């Protein structure tokens, strides 16, 4: 499923990614307030009586009707997002790895009260994670290559989608706060 349309609320805050079909449904139900973006996404519909296929055209950023609860804007935490934030680079040895070879490392170890939050987590290769063990980076003599950060909601949306269009990225970047995100 290709989540290629950026859904925003009427205040302009990004909400989520949608598939073309979800976007088309909103459009047909008159839920779209306005839309923009440089590109035009075409959705092929059914074939009418005269044998022509209907084509719905929409912009890649759609502002939709309705209220959004604050819960919708919570940034979820997963190894996949951590890996994307840290560009699949082990934050101790600097090597790049595929996701399945990366682990979640607690900077301040869990056993010592370290929390399972973005600010205390980095992505690390299994080898470095084992070597660090139950120690802080200072104790282990393994300095972090970058300070871990909690993504803003816009940063999360950029990290969650591998195929962000240039105009969508320009829109999301208005909500970026961390320098590291420019490298992603
Ligand atoms: Zn490593």
The predicted-structure confidence for 11-33, as pLDDT tens digits, reads as follows: 999 999 999 989 989 988 999 99
Distance, in Å, from the CA atom of 134 to the CA atom of 176, rounded to the nearest integer, reads 33
Element (H, E) at 32: strand 32-36
Whether 91 is in a domain gets the answer: yes
Across 51-61, average pLDDT: 87
Q: How far is the CA of 183 from the centre of ligand 1 (A)?
A: 20
- Count of the separate structural domains present in the chain: 2
Residue 182's pLDDT is: 81
Whether 149 is in a domain gets the answer: no
Whether 113 is in a domain gets the answer: yes
Residues 30, 46: one domain? Answer: yes
Task: Give the domain CATH number at 95.
Answer: 1.10.30.50
Q: How far is the CA of 17 from the centre of ligand 1 (A)?
A: 32
Backbone angles phi, psi at 60, to 5 degrees: -75, -5
Across 55-80, average pLDDT: 89
Domain membership of residue 97 as a residue range: 79-140
Q: How far is the CA of 84 from the centre of ligand 1 (A)?
A: 16
Across 126-154, average pLDDT: 97
Residues 131, 169: one domain? Answer: no
Whether 146 is in a domain gets the answer: no
Q: How far is the CA of 125 from the centre of ligand 1 (A)?
A: 4
Residues 10, 67: one domain? Answer: yes
One-character DSSP codes across 103-128: EEEESS-GGGT--SSGGGEEEEEHHH
Residue 43's pLDDT is: 81
Whether 145 is in a domain gets the answer: no
Q: Which residue has the higher pLDDT, 183 or 19?
A: 19
pTM, to two decimals: 0.89
Whether 40 is in a domain gets the answer: yes
Q: How far is the CA of 174 from the centre of ligand 1 (A)?
A: 32
Residues 20, 48: one domain? Answer: yes
Distance, in Å, from the CA atom of 114 to the CA atom of 108, rounded to the nearest integer, reads 5
């Amino acid at each position: 499923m290709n989540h290629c349309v950026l859904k925003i609320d009427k205040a302009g805050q990004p909400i989520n990614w949608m598939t073309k079909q979800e976007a088309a449904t909103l459009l047909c139900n008159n839920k779209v307030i306005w839309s923009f973006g440089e590109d035009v996404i075409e959705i092929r519909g059914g074939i009418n009586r005269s044998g022509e296929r209907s084509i719905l055209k929409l912009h890649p950023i759609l502002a939709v009707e309705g209220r959004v609860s604050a819960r919708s804007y919570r940034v979820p935490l997963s190894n996949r997002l951590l890996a994307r934030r840290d560009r699949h680079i082990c934050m101790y040895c600097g090597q790049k790895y595929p996701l399945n070879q990366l682990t979640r490392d607690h900077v301040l170890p869990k056993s010592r009260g370290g929390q399972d939050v973005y600010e205390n987590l980095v992505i690390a290769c299994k080898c470095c994670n084992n070597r660090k063990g139950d120690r802080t980076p200072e104790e282990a003599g393994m300095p972090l290559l970058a300070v871990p950060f909690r993504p803003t909601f816009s940063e999360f949306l950029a990290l969650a989608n591998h195929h962000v269009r240039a105009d969508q990225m320009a829109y999301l970047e208005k909500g970026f706060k961390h320098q590291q995100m420019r490298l992603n």
